[in-house]
Structure 1
Amino acid sequence: MKFAIALFAAPHAPSSRRALRFAQAALDGGHEIVRLFFYQDGVHSASSNVVSAQDELDLPAEWRAFVQDQQLDAVVCIAAALRRGVLNEEETQRYNRSAANLEAPWELSGLGQLHEAAQTADRLVCFGGP
């Protein structure tokens, strides 16, 4: 089965961890992930500036390692990211900001990527959100 996964919750929210574990289990079960889409507060999971407490799971680091190890298509909504100060180098220059905090393997793109993933996948699974 092909899954598209959308994460709406911040890294410290329980649904962020559930999303990661679901994605890992899906691949372990022989399924495919066509795209991971980070939206709303979920964009913080892609920020390289999130620092987790020493006694907590570092979900942004786990997401990054998972995406890199599995060579997944991981998209961060550009509108949600800009609104929350999550910028790649290009957007840092465009908006004259001092530092970028979004690096590979993440890609900034629009909601069209979520729509396309939903059309390509057998199932769209969403975690977090209102």
Structure 2
Amino acid sequence: MKFAIALFSPPHSPSSRRALRFAEAVLAGGHEINRLFFYRDGVYNAADSIVTPQDESDLQAQWRAFVERHALDAVVCVAAALRRGVLDTREAQRYGRVAVVPTPPWELSGLGQLHEAAQSADRLICFGGD
């Protein structure tokens, strides 16, 4: 079965941890993840500039390792990222900003990527949000 997974919550949220554990279980069960899509405050999971306190689980690092280990398509919504100051090199140059926080494996792209993922997956599973 093919899954598309959307995460709307920041890394310190329990739903971010649940989303990661679900994604791990999907692959362990022999299924496929066709895309991970980070939207709203979920874009903070791709922010390299956030430092997690030593007594907390570093979910950003865990997401990065998971995406890299499995060579997954990990898309960060560009509009949500811009609103939150999460800019890649291209967007930072475009808007004259110096902060660059998401680096590969994260890719900034539009909301259409979520739509495409939902259309090509058997299931779209969403975590977090209002």
- Rounded to whole Å, the distance in 1 between the matches of 2:112 and 2:68 is 23
Identity level (%): 71
SS in 2 for 1:66: helix
Q: CA deviation at 1:98?
A: 1.3
RMSD of the TM alignment (CA)?
Answer: 0.4
Counterpart in the other structure of 1:116: 116
TM-score scaled by length of structure 1 = 0.99
Alignment of 1:1-130 (within 5 A): 1-130=1-130
**1:2-52 superposed Cα distances (whole Å, 9 cap, x missing partner):** 000000001100000000000001000000000000000000000001111
TM-score scaled by length of structure 2 = 0.99
Q: Show structure 1 runs of 4+ deviating over 6 A.
A: none
SS in 2 for 1:107: strand
The letter of the residue matching 2:109 is S
Q: CA deviation at 1:99?
A: 2.1
How many residue pairs are counted as aligned between the two chains?
130
- Rounded to whole Å, the distance in 1 between the matches of 2:98 and 2:72 is 29
**1:53-82 superposed Cα distances (whole Å, 9 cap, x missing partner):** 101000001000100000000000000000
**Structure 1 alignment gaps of length 5 or more:** none
SS in 1 for 2:24: helix
- Rounded to whole Å, the distance in 1 between the matches of 2:91 and 2:102 is 10
